Amino acid sequence: MGSSSHTPSASYYQPALAWFAALGGAWVYVLVTLGAFTTSIGAGMVFPDWPLSNGSINPHGWLVDVAMFAEHSHRLSGTIMGLITIILAVWLWRREPRRWVRTLGWSALGIVIIQGLIGGKRVLLDSLAVPGFDMTLGQMLRIPHGILAQVYVCILIALGLALSRTWIEHKAPVSAAVRRAGLICVGLLLVQLTIAATMRHNFAGLAIPTFPFSTPDGHLLPSAWDYRVTLNFAHRLMAVVLTVALVWFAVKIWTDKGASHLMRSGAAVMVGLLGLQILLGAYVIWHQRNPEVTTGHVVCGALLLATTFGLTWLAYRDVIEARKSSV
């Protein structure tokens, strides 16, 4: 039970809390970037121990060795992210009058704890073989670790927006059609990011080594199939579906009379990120998974999800506040 003296429905803008939530939303991209780069250069097991790195919080040589720097920085940024989330959850519990926002804060903290445990077990169980699979149990844990990170990004975006002045002081009278379109796009993006994480950690990023066609002689379908090729082709097919869906969502926002200038601008950013993501995906193939380009592709995907989710969350603003205030 929180100690706030405000009634559950009396939401009000708190600048310091809102900016701290925004800080968490920004810092998560430092964490995502370092995690993506660590995976891209294959540095996930450069330290065989956890939670320390070679038995230390300041392992020898980590500032001059790229692999060590990537992995240890990822661990340090994860620790900072955990501290930010703890402070945010407690701050919300103490000062935020809306119960559902406080619940989001605790949910974010729960995911951070789970992510830390998964990340640690990924290291500690790296050598444990799983009969019938190419990957060890530790390597398998990279997949839920990557997927859960995207859910965490969405929760931070939801918190940041719910605490913003725009959310608290302005309504969002958009149509149900805009809300439905956004919900569909967020669902498709989560499916795509799940496929991408599975493909990435099964080393299937170059299973189809040509782009835009699937064979050197210009065929749309691969000439041979296995599970890695299937994952890669599914990722490409979903990219086509998402291109259509996200442009459709943007048009819905641009033509909706209730959409604010912020939402219209956000839709333009979303389409821009979509174009950049397609270009980066092509460069991943053309440059044989260059680590910097591959990292950019992962980060851009997370930004695209955050933007699409944020627009959808804003579109549901009036519905959410009406339902929660009636509880």
CATH classification of the domain holding 203: 1.20.120
Supply the DSSP symbol for 64. T
Domain boundary among 147, 168, 189: 168
Q: What is the pLDDT of residues 10-52, one digit of tens each?
A: 578 999 999 999 999 999 999 999 999 999 998 989 999 999 9
Instruction: Clarify whether residues 176 and 301 are in a common domain.
Output: yes
Report the amino acid identity of residue 315.
A
Same domain, 202 and 261: yes
* Structure confidence at residue 325 as a pLDDT band (50, 70, 90): low
Number of domains in the chain: 2
**Is the per-residue pLDDT at 324 higher than 90?**
no
Q: What's the pLDDT at 135? A: 85
**pLDDT tens digits, one per residue of 180-200:** 999 999 999 999 999 999 998
Asked whether residue 40 is domain-assigned, the answer is: yes
Nearest C-alpha neighbor of 283 from the set 189, 206, 193, 204: 206
Q: What pLDDT was estimated at residue 326?
A: 53
Measured CA to CA, the distance from residue 272 to residue 177 in angstroms comes to 22
CA angle 250, 298, 36 (to 5 degrees): 155
| Integer Cα distance of 91 and 214 in angstroms | 51
In a shared domain, residues 79 and 31: yes
Spatial separation of the C-alpha atoms in residues 120 and 137, rounded to whole Å: 12
Q: How far is CA 309 from CA 12, 26, 141, in A?
A: 23, 15, 25
Q: Taking the CA of residue 206 as centre, how many other CA atoms within 13 Å lie in the half-sphere pointing to its CB?
A: 11
* The predicted structure's pLDDT at residue 4: 41
Buried b (16+ CB within 10 A) or exposed e, 2-25: eebeeebeebeebeebbebbbebb
Domain of residue 247, residue span: 170-327
Residue 178 sits in the same domain as residue 283: yes
Query: pLDDT tens digits for 209-230?
Result: 999 999 999 999 999 999 999 9
Mean pLDDT of the chain, nearest integer: 92
CA 2 to CA 124: how far, in whole Å?
Answer: 38
Structure tokens at 92: 């919300």
